[in-house]
Structure 1
């Protein structure tokens, strides 16, 4: 059987190790989240500080943390972090404390729920590079932005799902209808319809970046309505798919270990190219850059995890070949996944039910 593998050895190692890293991280994080255990004390290396809005069990921030841990293990940086800064006030106080007292060489995190707070503190410390996941623009002199551009692996995952479904109904549970989520969901839908024009894709938004219970409940409702393949854009969906004994697509890191007989593959976000760009700022001078291109699949910033043929129902060999061929077209530039950031057709906000 042919094998759908990441194309770059370093990226492959990062993806395989990410779940283990997150398991370690969750033990270090928690309510306060701060962990000094990752700092080896070597002042010749730049100190990078992670400031995360969610617990690190949430895959989006977990992917950033995994890349920073990898850079730390490579001896490139010193690394400290705090997680669960889940309100704008907490984020603002946390960033001001980090920048003023820890004096890191750069701060990296996510600003989607606290854009104004992050930018306010960045302006107060113009000599410290800030690089945050954001839907807004960079701000001179020191506020860079990035995002997870996963439309390519999402399209491939959609092809897989559209081919595996027997009911012609797929389910997606996602955070909220904002551009960076919409483009992933829409690419998944487009991939599914490219191989199965008759497929219906149910999309539910839970209006939260981290609410596993709500996500699981929304997934169970979709499964009850006929969905027989799920896309876990949010944490909690895999558990529902495992309970229902159906295939599911993971998100951000390779989530196969969460349900080895049910996770068919995962969208992988390789943050290391972005981290390396931020470290370069930390060792030179602050900048205001859009670092989004470092997450593109063609730049090895995103990928589809190895296809898991051992899932319930299996994955046919000819389907693996078809997905490999489309991946090659993406990587050589002959196919460009459409970027559609509008709200997916027919989507619902289950948080209002």
Structure 2
């Protein structure tokens, strides 16, 4: 019978695996990744990076497919399962039913999939995750609220699904805390990877008074840079690419999530579970990126509050609200 480890036990097991010399570990797990966008895309890049790190550490042998269409996703899942992979990772937001049917056909294969829905105990070999980085998003909101001069922030997202909505709401809550007068323009472009469309949407918000942009998608920071305005990054750190534009970014670290899954597959305890908890800041799954060129340019009283809140979040003394409802302009 499969059992679910506690988070602390799983992370401890993962840490012990890393500490062992390669010759003392089990044979590397065969891991396959299936992605509907290029691996350069923000969200997927974090999964891909964590998998490459695990491969470099000798824990896994990793292969992947990118730009897989939704209509082809189930077929690729089957091919990787038939190929003998121990663990398959990916994102099934648009193919929930089909993906779960495939997982049911391969009970000996572990599936760890990004999903807007929770795990199903009746399907014990499929666990779900999402990037619950609302903690870091809230911290960037504190900074944005203090840095806007027009009190008008534009927010461009991909789709209004829980994974996006919760980050936007956390950001908005932080911005309101340091600037109760701030207002938001919110729009979704209907794509996970369409930088030109995101850029044009951002330009429209700038024309409507925004002097700060929340860049949930690629293309938004380009618009801010061209107009000499500021932006807040999401999931990855792009400060080096936009040194006079991106003030702060909420970073997702997929490593704790993947390490938990690797440990569970190795000891036979992998089962249906919600791996989204490993994205929490207190679990090491998210962080506030270094300010880089904006170090010293954010008001000190704001940074003092950021440091205070960050410490409280990590200590479990402050909880950022999770709101998965669709955000709207005000």
When normalised by structure 1's length, the TM-score is 0.82
Given the alignment, which residue of 115, 119, 122 partners 1:134? Answer: 115
Matching residue of 2:76: 94
Q: CA deviation at 1:117?
A: 2.0
Query: Aligned Cα RMSD in Å?
Result: 1.8
> By how many angstroms is 1:141 displaced?
2.1
CA distance change for structure 1 residues 163 and 55 in 2, over 3 Å: closer, same or farther? same
Between 141-150 and 172-181, the greater mean CA deviation after superposition = 172-181
Q: 1:113 is paired with a residue of what secondary structure?
A: coil
Q: How many residues align?
A: 303
Give 1:43 shift: 9.1
Is contact 1:48–1:77 with CA below 8 Å preserved after alignment?
yes
Contact 2:150/2:210 (8 A) holds in 1: yes
1:221 and 1:314 map into 2 onto residues whose CA distance is 27
Q: 1:309–1:315: 8 Å Cα contact kept in structure 2?
A: no
Q: Which runs of 5+ in 1 are unaligned?
A: 1-41, 348-353
Correspondence 1:49 to 2:16: no
Tell me, yes or no, if the aligned pair for 1:105 and 1:283 is still in contact at 8 Å: no
Deviation string 1:116-146 (CA, Å, 9 cap, x unpaired) is 2211211111100000000112232201000
Alignment partners' CA distance in 2, 1:126 and 1:105: 11
Q: How does 1:1-353 map to 2 (within 5 A)?
A: 44-87=27-70, 89-100=71-82, 102-139=83-120, 140-285=123-268, 286-310=270-294, 314-346=297-329
Asked if the contact 1:48–1:80 (Cα under 8 Å) also holds between the matched residues in 2, the reply is yes
Q: Secondary structure at the match of 1:91?
A: helix
Q: Do the aligned residues in 2 keep the contact of 1:308 with 1:315 (CA within 8 Å)?
A: no
Cα deviation for residue 200 of structure 1 reads: 0.5
SS in 2 for 1:327: helix
* Residue aligned with 2:143, SS: helix
Encode CA deviations 1:69-120: one digit per residue, 9 max, x unaligned. 1111222211111111132x211111111111x2111000111111122112
Give ranges in structure 2 of 5+ residues lacking alignment. Answer: 1-24
Match of 2:11 in 1: none
Q: How far apart, in 1, do the equivalents of 2:186 and 2:212 lie?
A: 12
Q: Does the residue aligned with 1:141 lie in a helix, a strand or coil?
A: coil
Greater shift in the superposed pair: 230-239 or 279-288: 279-288
Q: Tell me by how many angstroms 1:314 deviates.
A: 3.1
TM-score by length of structure 2 reads 0.87
CA deviation after TM superposition for structure 1 residue 150, in Å: 1.2
Task: Provide, for residues 53-73 of structure 1, a one-character-per-residue CA deviation record: whole Å limited to 9, x for no partner.
Answer: 111121111111111111112
SS at match of 1:145: strand
